[in-house]
Chains A and B, each alone.
Chain A
Amino acid sequence: MKLSGMFQLPVLLAASLLATVSAEHTNNWAVLVGTSRFWFNYRHLSNVLSMYRTVKRLGIPDSQIILMLPDDMACNPRNAFPGTVYSNADRAVDLYGDNIEVDYRGYEVTVENFIRLLTDRVGDEMPRSKRLLTDDRSNIFVYMTGHGGNEFLKFQDAEELGAFDLADAFEEMWEKRRYHEILFMIDTCQANTMYTKIYSPNIIATGSSELDQSSYSHHADNDVGVAVIDRYTYYNLEFLESEVKDLSSKKTVGELFDSYSYEKIHSHAGVRYDLFRGGADAARSRLLTDFFGNVQNVEVDGAKNATVDDEMLALSRTIAQLKQIAEEEEAASKNASEGPKPESKSYKNLPSAKPLNDDNWWVKKLVGVAALAGCTGLWALSSYLESSA
């Protein structure tokens, strides 16, 4: 094991060198995380859902979006609009809609699950829809919102994700070649402190507010009864909706960041470019659709002369052959199993529910009486010995 690990090292190094050469990403993923429970944090869920609608609008399929919603707002008994979540008091867009797939919800939204998701340290039984199946050509958009503080983000009012934990998770992702570029966006109080500890390459980070600054909500809906969206997310969405109408948009990340102002957001939004290869200029010139939209270009390995029909024919022939082989093997194994039966493993069966009945009533009573008599005898004996001593 150790030996193979040593062999892998140079290979990995060479591969990572190659990765830095290849410039383009081939798939897009989005990790959208809300971390607040309870009805009065409605706006955090609507923040996340607005981002979900935006990336879905720009073509990222549900299978490549990991959506984490810690509480149920749409079907909450306190919601006057059943099955809907709105992010604007004009209630023009129902964010919950008819077609939504939530990957982690309720109590599943924990720091552990979030870190496991990023680093893909999950059990065998974890379904594919709940995993971040990225590779070294994946661009990932990570969006988080909730209540936070200096270098931490609260999850469900019960636990915290530290800035160091997040930085280490990104580093592990980089070492495992799980991303090409990451756009990290966070909307909480003192959000900019969350990305200060990140040290892995190719990450553009942005946050809503500086150290000791709060992140404010934008407005409330009187019928919903609570604030419906945060300022930072609101102005991000405003830009994305008005400027990035479809995948052909040439708006860059820099242009989005330039649109932030203290007058609008009421806090100082921060940006971090220094981790990015090529620095601020390269980072600023990245297209927004590189992170919010799904990549359209498909890379084909080598040119093929055969037409598609021929390939399909060849493929179906191979399938038929494989099927035949499999059938033969099955028949052979059947023949083999007819001989000596394989020894069945002896398993320990779990205790199952037992019927309660009055069988052996007398026996049980006698055992009880005998135990009682034994104890009395012991006590009598000990007291006798004590008195005689």
Chain B
Amino acid sequence: MRLFTSVLTPLFCLVASAAAASDYHEQLVLKPLPQNSVLASFDFKSNTSVAQFEAHNFRYFPRSLAQILQHAGTRELHLRFSLGRWDAETWGARPWHGTKEGSTGVELWAWLEAGSDEEADQKWLTLTNALSGLFCASLNFIDSTRTIRPVMSFRPEGDHPNTTMTNMHLLHGVLPREVVCTENLTPFLKLLPCKGKAGISSLLDGHKLFDASWQSMAIDVRPVCPAGGECVLEIEQTIDMVLDIERSKRPRDNPIPRPPPGHELKCNTSKPYNSHDTCFPTDSLSAQEWTISQVFGKSMKGTCPLTDPAVPPVCIQAPHSRDVFTSAGVTELKVKENERCYLAPAEDDFELVLPHMPHEGENAKSDADEYVKPETPLLYAERSFTGHGQQRGGVQTIFTNPSPDTEVEFVYLESLPWFMRIYLHTLQARISHRTGSDKGETLAPEGDVIQEIYYRPFLDRERGTQLEVRMRIPPASTVFMTYDFEKSILRYTEYPPDANRGFDVAGAVITITTLTPNGKTSSLRTTGLLLNLPTPDFSMPYNVIIFTSTAIALAFGGLYNILVRRFVGQDEGPEVSLVRLKGKIRAAVSRLQSKTKKPGPPGMAAEVAGGKEKEAAKIE
């Protein structure tokens, strides 16, 4: 077996290098992460020669997308659908160095070929609307208030001839509120040559994908010109998701976790109160057993017949000491340290089983056997709101450079909505060095941190704020960047139906220009923010109507009464019945009083009765 592998490995490498020129290939990389999570990275790459593309001949390149790109004069396109938060503290550096990641919601940026900014805007409108129809997302909401033209953050990834380069316009838009759900996955799968029916794409299921702790769907289209070869247009579709193994193993029809029966509970026996009826459950941190069909809810149905057969469809990045069992007919290749790949049979179902790894007992395993230690990212970033109240607020972003010896340089880009009016003069960066002891904190002038700022102020209802800051952070230090802003009051009709939920602010894009060990730029996104604006009581107009109606009724009633009434002296007018009624009541009361004080002579009672008769006659 060993000999076989050693022979196969160079052969495989040879084939893999040839595969780069092939038209379509797909690969799934599984990477166990700490705390019983697993990162699944799906990668689908196909290409077509530019000449074929322009002649409208499409084989692997999706026609529906190609026509949109041609119609809108798009030279390079990047589209992201993301959900959740990447936990960098636990999971380490991001997959693909963060280049396939988007802000929460939908993010789109593209290079359009246009003679002027206005023409570019027109093409951008066409592009966003067409993509909204294709991907079932509200991309048409990317209007001028959400569109920015970043200066430093993005560079074209493809190879563009210098002639088109001068006419290319970069436009960028984010929709932080956009939900990502099955209706976005459906068109994504339809763009693939195997359409989710065979190969690794058959594992993609909305029920698991949108239940993941973090997920990002990406589409990148770029021209690639290999040295001396013909230029090709490459489309790369990737899906990255972090699955919580325990959560994704729950059955579809009964996903609500219920407490396990008493005899299945694992108790922490070190507790003093531990007894046969008292239990403090232990955290089961040892690796759980999982299989591909369990975590994805489906098993893989053969390989995609259109894919390059030399590229193994499934790889797993785990220490070789981690046991992995496969279904029959699967060939294992040890590609490099901590990575194994599997060649699947074309027709049969493919299955991988990663058994339970007990931390105790005879074959005790440690965490190091379970997963590869996550790589430390170049930079940690988190952003939050500060301040309180309905009028003002602040934003604080904390950058941490974990490296003990290298400084990190990056571009921080924010695209803020117009109703968040930032005060640029309050922008400041405070640096705290983590020298030997934690307490050693020195403050450095911000000039050392902030290198360059590009800024485009907002215009009410027309465009948002664009802020790009190039920063440099020395090794082992933390930078706090803050600025203040004021909240606008919107017009009544500008509030969305769920205004009290708050307004989403897109995550900041951080492009790290310090190269990774592999010589690539990397990027990351902060989480989005939820901004609470002063929100009116939406029943207010009705209250106003009712209040004014009441006021008018009162005023009008009184005035009308005064105008139409004729005023006369009391003796001139007819005898008012109310006065008579009053007199009658008074007489009755006085009679009652006299009755209760002392029983009167019978004659008096008769007189009273006579009076009553008289009065009754009068009334008639």
Contact = CB atoms under 8 A, between A and B. Distances in A.
A100 B138 contact: no
B138 A83 contact: no
Interface stretch (B112-120, B359-367, B528-536): B112-120
B450 to A, nearest CB: 10
Given A72-B181, A74-B181, A223-B256, A84 B497 contact: no
B136 A156 contact: no
A81 B424 CA distance: 45
B125 interface: yes
Given A75-B181, A98-B182, A157-B497, A80 B456 contact: no
Contacts of A344: 115
Contacts of B69: none
Interface stretch (B17-25, B126-134, B232-240): B126-134
A101 B137 CA distance: 10
A98 B186 contact: yes
Contacts of B255: 80-82
A357 to B, nearest CB: 8
Interface stretch (A25-33, A242-250, A346-354): A346-354
Contacts of B121: 350
Contact of B118 (A82, A156, A350): A350
A365 interface: no
B207 interface: yes
Contacts of A37: 497-498
A107 B138 contact: yes
A34 to B, nearest CB: 13
Interface string B142-157: 0000001111000000
A56 interface: no
A105 B182 CA distance: 13
A126 B186 contact: no
Contacts of B179: 72, 75, 105-106
A164 interface: no
A350 B117 contact: yes
A107 B182 contact: no
Contact of B134 (A72, A84, A127, A348): A127
A161 to B, nearest CB: 14
A183 to B, nearest CB: 25
B256 A83 contact: no
A102 interface: yes
A350 B121 CA distance: 10
Interface in A298-347: 344-345, 347
Contacts of A98: 182, 186, 196, 205-206
Nearest to A74: B181
B138 A106 contact: yes
Contacts of B140: 108, 125
Given A83-B211, A353-B455, A158 B118 contact: no
A353 B115 contact: no
Nearest to A107: B496
B597 to A, nearest CB: 60
B187 A101 contact: yes
Contacts of A75: 83, 179-182, 210
B498 A347 contact: no
B119 A102 contact: no
Contacts of B207: 82-84
Given A75-B181, A130-B133, A353 B253 contact: no
A347 B126 CA distance: 19
Contacts of B118: 347-348, 350
B116 A349 contact: yes
B454 A355 contact: yes
A96 interface: yes
B134 A353 contact: no
B452 A105 contact: no
Contacts of A355: 452-455
Contacts of B181: 72, 74-75, 83, 96
A179 to B, nearest CB: 22
B468 interface: yes
A349 B149 CA distance: 12
A123 to B, nearest CB: 8
Nearest to A106: B138
A82 B211 contact: yes
Interface in A5-58: 37-38
B480 interface: no
A101 B186 contact: yes
B466 interface: yes
B141 interface: yes
A297 interface: no
Nearest to A99: B186
Interface in B462-502: 466, 468, 496-498
A255 interface: no
A107 B497 contact: yes
A389 interface: no
A347 B130 CA distance: 25
Contact of B130 (A38, A127, A350): A127
Contacts of A351: 456
A105 B498 contact: no
A26 B452 CA distance: 64
Given A75-B179, A82-B211, A102 B149 contact: no
Interface in B178-217: 178-183, 186-187, 196, 205-211
Nearest to B205: A98
Contacts of B136: 101-103, 105
A96 B538 CA distance: 33
Nearest to A123: B129
A181 to B, nearest CB: 27
A348 B134 CA distance: 32
A192 B119 CA distance: 49
A56 to B, nearest CB: 13
Contacts of A278: none
A106 B178 contact: yes
Given A81-B255, A353-B466, A101 B454 contact: no
Nearest to B498: A37
Nearest to B452: A355
Contacts of A101: 136, 183, 186-187
A233 to B, nearest CB: 21
Given A98-B206, A127-B134, A349 B117 contact: yes
A136 B493 CA distance: 37
Nearest to A80: B256
Interface centre among B129, B177, B182, B207 (most CB of A within 10 A): B182
Contact of B129 (A70, A83, A126): A126
Nearest to A348: B118
Contacts of A83: 181-182, 205-211
B133 to A, nearest CB: 3
Contacts of B182: 74-75, 83, 96-98, 100
B454 A356 contact: yes
A91 interface: yes
Contacts of B211: 82-83
27 contacts: A37-B498, A75-B210, A80-B255, A82-B211, A83-B207, A83-B210, A84-B252, A96-B181, A98-B182, A98-B206, A101-B186, A106-B138, A107-B141, A107-B496, A107-B497, A108-B138, A127-B130, A129-B133, A130-B132, A158-B538, A347-B115, A348-B117, A349-B117, A350-B117, A350-B121, A353-B151, A356-B454
Given A103-B136, A127-B134, A353-B466, 19 more contacts: A70-B497, A74-B181, A75-B181, A82-B255, A83-B211, A84-B207, A98-B186, A98-B206, A100-B183, A102-B136, A105-B179, A107-B496, A107-B497, A158-B538, A348-B116, A350-B149, A352-B151, A353-B149, A353-B150
Q: Which 4 A-B pairs have the closest CB atoms?
A: A127-B133, A347-B116, A82-B211, A156-B497
Interface of B: 83, 115-119, 121, 125-126, 129-130, 132-134, 136-138, 140-141, 148-151, 177-183, 186-187, 196, 205-211, 252-253, 255-256, 424, 452-456, 466, 468, 496-498, 538
